[in-house]
């Protein structure tokens, strides 16, 4: 009996390579089939990321954007979350559940142009059936502003405040919050603008003092982590660039 038990142990100790490979392939096939059945326009979480790719972001800033979006997608579940990417100065990428394609698209973005935040937010809410928007910027918007007295130049062909307010109303009416991240100095026009956008749409506002914080901090606006930001102490740590 002892010899039979020992033989049995030796046989069981060998890894079932062939069975393991079949299991992996079967799981991948099932996952691929499941992905084909998913409609990115009807999954529970449909997120629109508005990326500031204006000239002020610079090469280093965009590298942190690329890293931040990779961290963000890694924190999402492609079975229940689709992502659209709307850079301010480039063609748009609609809702997508294949995060490899999302990351590949984002990797092609570079810093150029102005900061037409409200124009892009309008196209996003008019085009994509999103449940939430995520907007980040390192400056003030060009084109229009919701601030009572927007100092500085809003750019050529700037439009009245009512244009920006109308965009915000569209989000409020559809009950789509806009989470915002401002990168820069506190109490600047950009800081006040981004904070106000979040307040008016029932979104979450985060302030990073430098763009490097975006690479590790953007993920906290993914569905699985966003609730952490309701805790002021945890939110303060994230804004300081600490990992929680």
Q: Is residue 11 part of a domain?
A: no
Overall average pLDDT of the 112-121 stretch: 93
Q: Is residue 164 part of a domain?
A: yes
Residues 170 and 119 sit within 8 Å (Cβ to Cβ): no
Residue 97 pLDDT greater than 50, yes or no: yes
pLDDT at position 231? 94
Residue 135: its pLDDT value, please?
Answer: 97
Q: Indicate left, alpha or beta for 206 from its phi (over 0: left) and psi (-120 to 50: alpha).
A: beta
Domain-embedded: residue 20:
no
State the Cα–Cα distance between residues 205 and 134, nearest whole angstrom: 10
Residue 3 in domain: no
Residue 144: inside a domain: yes
CATH of the domain at 58: 3.40.50.410
Whether 222 is covered by a domain: the verdict is yes
Q: How sure is the predictor about 150, in pLDDT bands with cuts at 50, 70 and 90?
A: low
> What is the model's pLDDT at position 148?
73
Dist CA 71 CA 142 (whole Å): 29
Q: Is the pLDDT of residue 153 over 70?
A: no
| Residue at 79 is within a domain | yes
Residue 45 placed within a domain? yes
At 101, the pLDDT band (50, 70, 90 cuts) reads very high
Cα–Cα dist 206/68, whole Å: 14
Burial of 212 per CB tally in 10 Å (0-12, 13-18, 19+): middle
The whole domain housing 220 covers: 39-239
Q: pLDDT of 14-53, one tens digit each? A: 555 666 555 555 555 655 656 677 999 999 999 999 999 9
Structure tokens at 63: 């590298």
For the record, the structure tokens of 39 come out as: 């409609």
pLDDT given for residue 9 in this prediction: 42
The predicted model scores a pTM of 0.83
**70-74, 133-137, 187-191, 194-198: least confidently modelled range:** 187-191
Beta-bridge partners for 132? 47
179-227 pLDDT per residue, tens: 999 999 888 889 999 999 999 999 999 999 999 999 999 999 999 999 9
Query: Does residue 1 carry a pLDDT above 50?
Result: no
Q: How many domains does the chain have?
A: 1
- Give yes or no for residue 233 having a pLDDT over 50: yes
């Amino acid at each position: 009996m002892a010899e039979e038990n020992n033989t049995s142990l030796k046989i069981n100790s060998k890894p079932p390579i062939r069975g393991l490979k079949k299991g992996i392939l079967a799981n991948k096939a099932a996952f691929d089939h499941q992905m084909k059945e998913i409609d990115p326009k009807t999954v529970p979480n449909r997120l629109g990321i508005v990326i500031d790719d204006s000239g002020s972001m610079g090469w280093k800033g965009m590298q942190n954007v690329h890293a931040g979006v990779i961290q963000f997608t890694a924190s999402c579940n492609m079975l229940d979350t689709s992502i659209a990417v709307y850079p301010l100065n480039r063609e748009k990428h609609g809702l997508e559940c294949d995060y490899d394609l999302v990351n590949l698209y984002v990797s092609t973005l570079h810093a150029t142009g102005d900061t037409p935040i409200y124009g892009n937010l309008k196209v996003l809410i008019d085009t994509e059936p999103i449940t939430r928007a995520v907007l980040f910027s390192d400056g003030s918007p060009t084109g229009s502003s919701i601030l009572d007295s927007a100092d500085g130049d809003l750019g050529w062909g700037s439009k009245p405040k009512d244009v920006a307010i109308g965009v915000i109303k569209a989000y409020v009416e559809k009950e789509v919050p806009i989470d915002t991240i401002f990168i820069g100095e506190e109490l600047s026009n950009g800081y006040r603008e981004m904070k106000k956008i979040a307040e008016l749409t029932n979104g979450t506002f985060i302030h990073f003092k430098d763009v490097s914080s975006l690479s590790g901090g953007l993920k906290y606006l993914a569905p699985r982590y966003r609730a952490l930001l309701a805790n002021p102490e945890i939110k303060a740590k994230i804004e300081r660039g600490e990992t929680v």
